[in-house]
Chain A
């Protein structure tokens, strides 16, 4: 939720700010945007998987942005489109992160449903102890 509110606030601030990026720096901004998006999605994924670490996130955000800036700068100087490397890498990682977030969410949802079912079966079992037939086995979700 914070992420969405943040992006909304950022867009608003960017809209209200009186200046736009000079065309020369548009390349920096576009790659930096991708880097930031990648970091953010990575953080979301890590949080869902319970592996989120604030230091990892912040350091990753800063170092990615820094590396991207260096790549674009050096690439412009050398006449080699090094920023394409960053563009492709972050593009791939964004999709990867999104895919993992999706899977994690689905898995979590399945697990929660299964737990709820187990609990229900348990409580039913406790209510009428005369029941002898065991509940049908629930297939464990596969990733």
Chain B
């Protein structure tokens, strides 16, 4: 472009002949054009790469994700209520079944009902009450020094898991963390700053309630080299652990799902 402008305005160089034009094309237009095209393609490709990568990672904004979570939790709560209603209806129907029908049938039904109640109790599907221990765990009130790892100032999922393990090992018959019954398929894990039990977010203080022989359970927890020793560093940083015996506690039923889609019973007998 610029060279053409010069050719027009500059009176000094002679007019370009046919041969000059030809060599001009070959020397300038073709190589520069090709180089420019390559350049453009490179630029566009790079641009597309830049455009595509952040969108893949950050497809949802934070507020979108938050809304999604809130919606899902509302839906979850609604379904839990529905499940409770259905369970109540089932119980009523079972009771009704025991009161009607022939005498022999009633006997059978009563036996079956006892069986079902026992199974439910073992699976943690009905609320239970009894004596036991209450463990209260809470984060430290002290603030970590600037730059200090806050690990030992907080209660972690592993701590709760350790307590639950110890209580089971000491003969606990039923355990609940806050309002979540620890039963089959219970998970205790850390999600961001909160601890989830049975996929429900819990807030400190964490109340671990276990039904069993109170003194046995307490002794197990206070055992030398036991749970409290492994938490010693946290306790030194102000994490509050409080163990007390209770004469009667009520533990809620397990509300999680118990559908078997892959597992099936082996009838070997």
- A-side residues, CB < 8 A to B, are 1-15, 17, 19-23, 26, 29-30, 32-33, 36-37, 39-40, 43-44, 47-48, 52, 54, 57-58, 61, 105, 108, 112, 115
Within 8 A of A (CB), among B58-90: none
> Is B31 on the interface with A (CB-CB < 8 A)?
yes
Contact with A1, one of B4, B6, B48, B49 (Cβ below 8 angstroms): B4
| Known contacts A1-B1, A1-B4; is-contact A6 B33 (Cβ 8 Å) | yes
Interface residues on B, range: 20 to 34
Interchain CB contact under 8 A, B37 and A29: no
**A-B residue pairs in contact (CB < 8 Å), sample of 19:** A2-B1, A2-B32, A3-B36, A4-B36, A6-B32, A6-B35, A6-B36, A6-B40, A10-B43, A20-B48, A21-B48, A22-B49, A23-B49, A29-B42, A29-B49, A33-B46, A39-B35, A58-B31, A115-B11
> Is B41 on the interface with A (CB-CB < 8 A)?
yes
CB distance from B171 to the nearest CB of A (A): 56
Within 8 A of A (CB), among B1-50: 1-4, 6, 9-11, 26-29, 31-50
* A-chain residues with CB within 8 Å of residue B29 when the two chains form the complex: 2
Bound-complex Cα distance A8 to B36 (A): 8
Contact with A6, one of B3, B4, B11, B39 (Cβ below 8 angstroms): B39
* B-chain residues with CB within 8 Å of residue A108 when the two chains form the complex: 6
Task: Return the 3 tightest CB-CB contacts between A and B, nearest first.
Answer: A10-B40, A6-B36, A14-B44
* A-chain residues with CB within 8 Å of residue B42 when the two chains form the complex: 10, 14, 29, 32-33, 36
Bound-complex Cα distance A15 to B47 (A): 9
Bound-complex Cα distance A4 to B215 (A): 87
Contact with A33, one of B1, B32, B43 (Cβ below 8 angstroms): B43
Bound-complex Cα distance A60 to B40 (A): 18
> Is B52 on the interface with A (CB-CB < 8 A)?
yes
> Is B53 on the interface with A (CB-CB < 8 A)?
yes
* A-chain residues with CB within 8 Å of residue B35 when the two chains form the complex: 3, 6, 36, 39-40, 43, 57, 61
* A-chain residues with CB within 8 Å of residue B3 when the two chains form the complex: 47-48, 52
Nearest B-chain residue to A112, judged by Cβ: B9
Bound-complex Cα distance A132 to B174 (A): 122
Nearest A-chain residue to B46, judged by Cβ: A29
A-B contact count (CB 8 A): 127
Not counting A1-B1, A17-B45, a sample of 17 additional A-B residue pairs whose C-beta atoms are within 8 angstroms of each other reads: A2-B29, A3-B35, A6-B34, A6-B37, A7-B36, A11-B43, A13-B37, A15-B44, A17-B41, A20-B52, A21-B48, A26-B46, A36-B42, A37-B39, A40-B36, A47-B2, A47-B3
Bound-complex Cα distance A37 to B50 (A): 19
Interchain CB contact under 8 A, A21 and B31: no
Nearest B-chain residue to A60, judged by Cβ: B35
CB distance from B142 to the nearest CB of A (A): 42
Interchain CB contact under 8 A, B36 and A21: no
Bound-complex Cα distance A107 to B228 (A): 85
Interchain CB contact under 8 A, A4 and B1: yes
Bound-complex Cα distance A83 to B4 (A): 37
* A-chain residues with CB within 8 Å of residue B41 when the two chains form the complex: 10-11, 13-14, 17
CB distance from A106 to the nearest CB of B (A): 12
* B-chain residues with CB within 8 Å of residue A32 when the two chains form the complex: 42
Bound-complex Cα distance A44 to B36 (A): 12
| Known contacts A2-B28, A23-B53, A47-B3; is-contact A40 B40 (Cβ 8 Å) | no
Bound-complex Cα distance A17 to B36 (A): 17
Nearest A-chain residue to B51, judged by Cβ: A20
Bound-complex Cα distance A108 to B3 (A): 11
* B-chain residues with CB within 8 Å of residue A6 when the two chains form the complex: 32-37, 39-40
Interchain CB contact under 8 A, B6 and A26: no
* B-chain residues with CB within 8 Å of residue A1 when the two chains form the complex: 1, 4
Bound-complex Cα distance A9 to B34 (A): 10
